[in-house]
Amino acid sequence: MDPLIDRDAADIAARASRELDALVAVSSPSGDVPGAEEAVAVCAALLPSEASCERVPCSTPGSAPDLIAAIRGRGAGRVLLLGHLDTVIAHRSHAPLRRDGNRLYGPGAVDMKGGVVLALGVARALAERPERFAEVAVLLVTDEEWRTEPFAHVERFTGYDACLCFEGGQLAGAGEEGVVVRRKAAGTLRVRATGRAAHSGSAPDQGRNALIGLARAAIAVAGKHDPHGPERLSVVPTIIRSGEAFNVVPPSGELVFDMRASSVDAFEAVLAGVPAELDEVRLQARMERVWPGMDSAAATAPLLERASARIGRPIVGVPRGGASDASHFAPAIALTVDGLGPRGGGAHTPTEFVLEPSLRERAEVALAIAVEVLERAG
């Protein structure tokens, strides 16, 4: 292994569990401004002293501002380290980090506060050698888990040599270090129903049942689910809400689908397939949270091969279905690599955890890729 990477990864790992403890101790569900501000303050304290920090408007109105930290050097390359601070775990379910063997359990531990800790560690390591880069930027957003608005930060970083995103890591099929180079596009389809209320006992047929209309729409639209087709399209009904009283024909309601596909174009056919009316119940459909797909496999293959040589074990590009902010940057930054965070499991659940040994292993992977990018840019 490259001795500098070995040393820097050891330094990052020596601090990582304590830093993760501090960051997980902050409850920061999406949309909670005080929690986000506290998480940002923790991260700012862990940045290298050379970093200049800026708070910029979040993509989601009403959210805490995002954090951009810039470290300027004397070299030629520019690399972006990307992460998010919000979690899906509400305050009432929050708990401090706890250890069980080599597992570190806590809300957001793997998605993605463990990754944020590694990103900050990589920033500190790179800052020690300013002759190797022109700029290392860290972008930490506060709204990734629930954003429906367009992403605000792509233009700011267009032209950077690489975007390295620290969502949770994984192993590849044969046990190699896996990094994410392909993701599906993601979309949310919302269908609103308008019927007519009536007494469900004395005059049920005078009503127009929005719940039945939505149920029929859910079955019809889910029929477009085709995960093995050319677009690898998944169409999954996830939420249905209708009715306000047990003895009233529901006059309104809404239905939500989560969709994934190779490209956003596949979503248009699903949207067009929602009927305008079923049994005199009007249906209005619209797309929300449309995130692009990502495919940087070809562009990053030589980079991963060189980085593998630096750490003496293979780093392999793999696909992943979940959405990530890396997908927004991939069209503008060819060398976009995701999944650089620690390995773990249970994301979005009370049993979320990070495998502690992977903190060092994934630090080695991220450092090798970052160093390779900057050396080639120079």
Q: Per-residue confidence of the chain (378 residues) as pLDDT tens digits? A: 899 999 999 999 999 999 999 999 999 999 999 999 999 999 999 999 999 999 999 999 999 999 999 999 999 999 999 999 999 999 999 999 999 999 999 999 999 999 999 999 999 999 999 999 999 999 999 999 989 899 999 999 999 999 999 999 999 999 999 999 999 999 999 999 999 999 999 999 999 999 999 999 999 999 999 999 999 999 999 999 999 999 999 999 999 999 999 999 999 999 999 999 998 999 999 998 899 999 999 999 999 999 999 999 999 999 998 889 999 999 999 999 999 999 999 999 989 999 999 999 999 999 999 999 999 886
End residue of a domain, out of 289, 309, 338: 289
Residue pair 339/320 in contact (Cβ under 8 Å)? The answer is yes
Query: What range defines the domain where residue 61 resides?
Result: 3-184+293-377
Which residues, 6 or more positions from 266, have their beta carbon under 8 angstroms from its beta carbon?
Answer: 185, 231, 233, 259
pLDDT of residue 378: 63
Same domain for 17 and 100, yes or no, is yes
Both tokens of residue 214? 């939505």
| Strand ranges inside 175-245, DSSP E | 177-183, 185-194, 234-242
End residue of a domain, out of 230, 260, 289: 289
CB atoms under 10 Å from CB of 81, counted, come to: 28
Q: Which DSSP symbol is given to 109? A: I
Residue pair 54/68 in contact (Cβ under 8 Å)? The answer is yes
Measure Cα distances from 11 to 3, 68, 101, 329, 359 in Å. Answer: 12, 23, 21, 29, 11
Same domain for 136 and 271, yes or no, is no
Same domain for 370 and 263, yes or no, is no
Same domain for 163 and 300, yes or no, is yes
Total structural domains within the chain:
2
The helix or strand, by DSSP H or E, that contains position 71, with its residue range, turns out to be strand 66-72
Same domain for 348 and 373, yes or no, is yes
Same domain for 265 and 321, yes or no, is no
The two beta strands, 78-84 and 162-165, are parallel
pLDDT of residue 377: 87
Q: Which DSSP symbol is given to 348? A: T
Same domain for 107 and 203, yes or no, is no
Question: Domain with 272 in it: what CATH number?
Answer: 3.30.70.360
- Cα separation, 85 vs 141, in Å, equals 6
Question: Domain with 346 in it: what CATH number?
Answer: 3.40.630.10
pLDDT tens-place string over residues 297-342: 999 999 999 999 999 999 999 999 888 999 999 999 999 999 999 9
Same domain for 304 and 359, yes or no, is yes
Same domain for 171 and 319, yes or no, is yes
Both tokens of residue 300? 């990053």
Both tokens of residue 116? 């944020």
Residue pair 79/161 in contact (Cβ under 8 Å)? The answer is yes
Name residue 226's beta-bridge partners.
233
pLDDT of residue 323: 86
Same domain for 141 and 31, yes or no, is yes
pLDDT of residue 322: 81
CB atoms under 10 Å from CB of 194, counted, come to: 16
Same domain for 99 and 70, yes or no, is yes
Closest-CA residue to 164 (of 2, 368, 375, 377): 368
End residue of a domain, out of 289, 314, 334: 289
Query: 98-134 burial, b if ≥16 CB within 10 A, otherwise e?
Result: eeeeebbbbbbbbbbbbbbbbbbbbbbbbbeebebbb
Same domain for 311 and 345, yes or no, is yes
pLDDT of residue 364: 98
